[in-house]
């Protein structure tokens, strides 16, 4: 597309694994809009993914960081400011995993060590990222931080398991931290509640294919794709949304406001 919406803006993008991931698509869209950024992921995810290829394509450097480690995050932020030549304008938090889901533990049979680990990675890491940015005064005024979430934070999707609780916590952090970051630094903090999306993370959820096609039939505009999400994220990073903060923004083709659709009625 290319409207130069992010010309001269600098950022950090967490969580690009492979070309299906929303963070990967967002990095490409940000690049197309003139933004520069540092890519980061957990060392283990970097071994699994193809992040080097994305770095080449977008002329970006990669800094490995465990998003649950404050020391790693402080280092990531300091190095990013150095590499990019100034303070940060945008950050994407695109991180989530549940050990309970991976190990096939039901919500009614959680291993709480697994729960704590998943919560740290999926939810508390967002607070850690925000706090590190805030304490380092690393964000420019009118900067923008976006985290990805899912509607299971508000409504029950049985197989989404403890990730639903993680996402509810994540969304609360956006409101709570968004207040202080807005008041004191003019930085905005929002979450995007995305349609179910066929990413590596998404496909780990049981019955995922049925779930995607149900959402498709329920949404008047159909599901939002990873690319659609990338484009929406670009608008939130841009100066066109300066007064949008502390919001959970549904990006789901209308799913969240649809009680039932004609297609679903006909199916049953």
Residue 37 has φ and ψ, to the nearest 5°, of: -160, 165
Question: Is residue 83 a known part of a binding site?
Answer: no
Per the annotation, does 21 bind a ligand? yes
Please give the Cα distance from 152 to 161 (Å, whole number).
Answer: 9
Q: Which residue in 3, 107, 160, 169 is the catalytic one?
A: 160
SS (H, E, C) the chain: CCCCCCCCCEEEEECCCCCCCHHHHHHHHHHHCCCEEEEECCHHHHHHCCHHHHHHHHCCEECCCCCCCHHHHHHHHHHHHHHHCCCEEEEEECCCCCHHHHCCCCHHHCCHHHHHHHHHHHHHHHHHHHHHHHHCCCEEEEEEEEEEECHHHCCCCHHHCCHHHHHHHHHHHHHHHHHHHHHHHCCEEEEEEECCCCCCCHHHCCCHHHHHHHHHHHCCCCCCCHHHHHHHHHHHHCHHHCCCCCCEEEECCCHHHCCCCHHHHHHC
167 belongs to an annotated ligand binding site: yes
Six-digit token pair at 265?
């009625």
Q: Of residues 150, 169, 179, 232, which has the active-site annotation?
A: 150
What is the distance between the terminal CA atoms of the chain, rounded to a whole angstrom?
Answer: 41
Whether 112 is catalytic:
no
Active site residue 160: yes
Angle among Cα 258, 237, 169 to the nearest 5 degrees reads 55
Q: Catalytic residue positions? A: 150, 160
- Known binding-site residues for NAD(+) equal 15, 21-22, 95, 167
- Known binding-site residues equal 15, 21-22, 95, 167
């Amino acid at each position: 597309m290319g409207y130069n919406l992010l010309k001269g803006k600098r950022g950090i993008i967490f969580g690009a694994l492979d070309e299906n991931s929303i963070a990967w698509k967002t990095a490409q869209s940000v690049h197309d809009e003139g933004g520069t950024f540092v890519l980061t992921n957990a060392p283990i995810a970097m071994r699994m993914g193809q992040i080097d290829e994305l770095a080449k394509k977008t002329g970006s450097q990669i800094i490995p960081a465990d998003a649950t480690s404050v020391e790693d995050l402080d280092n990531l932020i300091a190095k990013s400011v150095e590499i990019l030549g100034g303070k940060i304008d945008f950050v994407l938090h695109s991180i989530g995993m549940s050990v309970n889901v991976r190990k096939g533990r039901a919500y009614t049979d959680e291993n709480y060590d697994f729960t704590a680990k998943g919560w740290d990675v999926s939810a508390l890491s967002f607070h850690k990222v925000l706090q590190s940015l805030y304490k380092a005064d690393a964000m420019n005024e009118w900067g923008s931080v976006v985290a990805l979430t899912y509607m299971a934070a508000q409504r029950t999707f049985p197989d989404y398991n403890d990730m639903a609780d993680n996402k509810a916590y994540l969304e609360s952090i956006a409101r709570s931290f968004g207040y202080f970051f807005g008041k004191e630094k003019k930085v905005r903090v929002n979450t995007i509640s995305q349609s179910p999306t066929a990413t590596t993370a998404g496909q780990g959820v049981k019955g995922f294919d049925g779930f995607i096609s149900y959402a498709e039939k329920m949404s008047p505009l159909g599901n939002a794709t990873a690319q659609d999400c990338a484009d929406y994220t670009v608008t939130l990073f841009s100066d066109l949304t300066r007064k949008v903060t502390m919001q959970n923004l549904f990006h789901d083709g209308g799913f969240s406001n649809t009680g039932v659709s004609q297609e679903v009625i006909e199916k049953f």
